[in-house]
Amino acid sequence: MSFDPQTRARLVGLFVAEADETVSELRGHAARLASDEGALEEFGRLAHGLKGAAAALGFGRVADTLHALEDLSLGIRGEAPDAASARIALVRDALELLGEGVARMTASGGDAFPEDVLDALAPVVGLGARVEDRSAPAPPATAAGAAGRATDAVVERISVPAGDVDEALRLASSLARTAGQLHEVLLAAGASQAAAAQGLAASAAGLEGIVASLRLLPADVALSGLEEEVRELGASLGKRVLATVGGRDVRADRRTLQSARGMIRHLVRNAIDHGIEPPAAREAAGKPAEGRLRVTLEAGEATLRVVVADDGAGFDAARIREELVRRGADPIRIASSSDAEVLQIWAHEGGSTRASATQVSGRGLGLSAVAQLARAAGGGLEVRSAPGEGSLVEFSLPLEVYAVEALTVTAGGRLFGLPLRAVERTVHLAAAKDAVHESPTGRTLAVGETILPLVPLAGALALEGGGGAGGRFAVVLRGEGGAAALAVDDVGAVAGLVPAAVAGLVDHDALVTGLGRLADGKAVAILSPRVVLARARAVRGTAGREAGPAASAPSPRPARAVEVVLAEDSLATREVLRVLLEEQGFKVRLAADGEEALARIAEQVPDVLVSDVNMPRRDGIALTRVLRGAAATARLPVVLLTSQDDEAVRRAGQEAGADAYLLKSRFDAHLLQETLGRLGVGAR
């Protein structure tokens, strides 16, 4: 497969990074190959994924070596202990050699795997005489061309360990937060040093954005060469396949794109091998001889969505039902399930009707490998198929780091960011007063030939004092939920933000999808256009003229605002939780750790404490013990939040006297209201 020098340099750099991480993971699984079936399956999945990457770049000998390594590891099944140990020793030797080869590629910046390492690997994994490298890159036409390629490769290969970037980002974020707090303290004291502190805050925020952006790559890096790979793989199977790719301009963190790349390659190869028919069969079915395959990447709110669709034969539902029953599934359940439900069961529990392994399709992993990866990352997978018309597999992955252009707006005295892709236009309401009208369902704004509901953003977010009709500007927002004009106090600049996503908390239905920071250090809560539109419709009590699906009615509010002290050391998580709680009518006072929470409670005892478990200075469990030991707070309801469902932590919280224990991954304001209701907290 041939690439232009720049593309090849970029792809080889990505391959080296992936190979380095994969070999490390394989080493970790190697020790458990004889005793852990899960480790054996994961070893095979990882080796198969790296084999596909090697084959795509034309590293034929590397791909052959990895295929032989799969065979070597699979032979452990059923072996006597001594024989299994001998195989594991060979696997470990092979991994050490692979690691050496990858390290030498990294150090040299070359675009070929070291031949002497491959020669040494061959007898270890059971390969005979040297296999001709079908992938070796073509020799340069000129010395100048060679120099150009070498320079491109070195430039593309300059890298920093991801862990170092993560730590730099953490430190930059901490610096930005501290600088912002320092500025607020000095400003309140009227000190002249406040200007210097503001400059420090701006510099720290800028540093944070730059470091975060180092983690971002264009999706084109993951997709480069895919069309050529599809064409050549199809030809090797006697098929003609044309691939189209969408979403190359999506920017996301390297880890997510790397995971997506392996999953895409797996689905593409399966679609060509299993789904798309040979030319003669397609023509007999009235289809074009050339099969069509489309891959699309789309970045949503903190989620990467990937669709792989083909126009092949589709899944054979009847055969899948038989195979599921043969593997032990409940026959009654399978018989009573629809074809769509059976496909989902198949994707998550079975995944392949192919009995034997090939260089193309792997060893019975099928869709289940992709589904397992998506679930492990906190995403999901969905399969759709129409017999004779094709199939579609969609998976999603949470974005660790992503970039968004947002329009900053002020509403209810607070700063928010609206993703620019959903902003159609802004309108100065004083200049467009003739376009504003009162209707039986509320104010409307005529925009061109469209009449849109005009809803205060503060009212849609249920902010205190947000029920009025004021606002100097209107932002026309359009998305999945239709369109609306949102009245805001002010419109700021368009900012390129790298939001701090809140792992395990932000989900598809979250109002706040992340927290960005402007150059002056101000925090910006980035809102989901879809959720904002749904809340705007709920405020109006109608789906409006640009109707999308009907929104649910607003949740009931307590007669008196419940006061919450929220203790959370993560700025991003704290801000998201604050917005979630306040837009449901709670009155929130913030604390950055347990000590600060004690100070807030000493000022005035709230109705409830919501506290993270893990915090500096004083954690949530120690905080609970202190509160239970004081007469004024002995009966204060305490709700602990944690990102992991750890039985030991739960038990420690109960022993300390906590009243409830909620997972951040399941947290929302409605669940807190239900929990408080059970605790007897509400209107008084």
Q: Splitting the chain (684 residues) into consecutive groups of 10 residues, what average pLDDT does each group show?
A: 61 78 82 80 80 75 87 81 82 86 77 86 73 37 32 38 61 65 63 60 64 72 78 88 87 79 85 91 93 88 85 89 84 88 78 43 56 78 90 86 81 88 86 77 72 86 67 85 85 78 54 76 83 83 38 40 87 73 83 92 92 87 92 89 73 83 69 70 52
| 363 SS3 class | coil
Rounded to 5 degrees, what are φ and ψ at 87? -65, -45
Residue 548 lies in a domain: no
Bridge partners of residue 48, in order along the sequence: none
Place of tokens 């256009």: 529
Same domain for 26 and 120? yes
Give the domain range for residue 587. Answer: 563-678
Q: Which helix (H) or strand (E) holds 611?
A: strand 608-612
Same domain for 121 and 248? no
Q: Which amino acid, residue 405?
A: E
> In the listed set 382, 398, 414, which residue is the last one of a domain according to the structure?
398
Residue 552 lies in a domain: no
Question: Looking at residue 293, which CATH number applies to its domain?
Answer: 3.30.565.10
* pLDDT per position as a tens digit, 347-384: 876 544 443 344 444 433 457 778 877 877 777 888 89
Same domain for 21 and 103? yes
Same domain for 257 and 341? yes
Same domain for 151 and 25? yes
Same domain for 506 and 570? no
> In the listed set 358, 379, 398, which residue is the last one of a domain according to the structure?
398
pLDDT of residue 258: 76
Residue 683 lies in a domain: no
Same domain for 469 and 606? no
Same domain for 389 and 427? no
Distance between CA atoms of 312 and 307, rounded to whole angstroms?
Answer: 15
> In the listed set 494, 509, 540, which residue is the last one of a domain according to the structure?
540
Residue 292 lies in a domain: yes
Rounded to 5 degrees, what are φ and ψ at 547? -60, 140
Task: Report which DSSP code applies to 313.
Answer: -
The total of structural domains in the chain comes to 5
Distance between CA atoms of 293 and 232, rounded to whole angstroms?
Answer: 14
Residue 202 lies in a domain: yes
Residue 551 lies in a domain: no
Place of tokens 């995403």: 379
Which tokens hold the place of 229?
Answer: 């790979």
pLDDT of residue 560: 62
Same domain for 655 and 601? yes
pLDDT of residue 173: 63
Question: Looking at residue 653, which CATH number applies to its domain?
Answer: 3.40.50.2300
**Angle of helix 620-628 versus helix 594-603 axis, rounded to 10:** 30
Same domain for 636 and 573? yes
Residue 599 lies in a domain: yes
Question: Which DSSP string corresponds to 98-110?
Answer: HHHHHHHHHHH--
Same domain for 428 and 513? yes
Percent of the chain with pLDDT over 70: 71
Question: Looking at residue 15, which CATH number applies to its domain?
Answer: 1.20.120.160
Q: What is the pTM of this model?
A: 0.50
| 382 SS3 class | strand
Same domain for 224 and 207? no
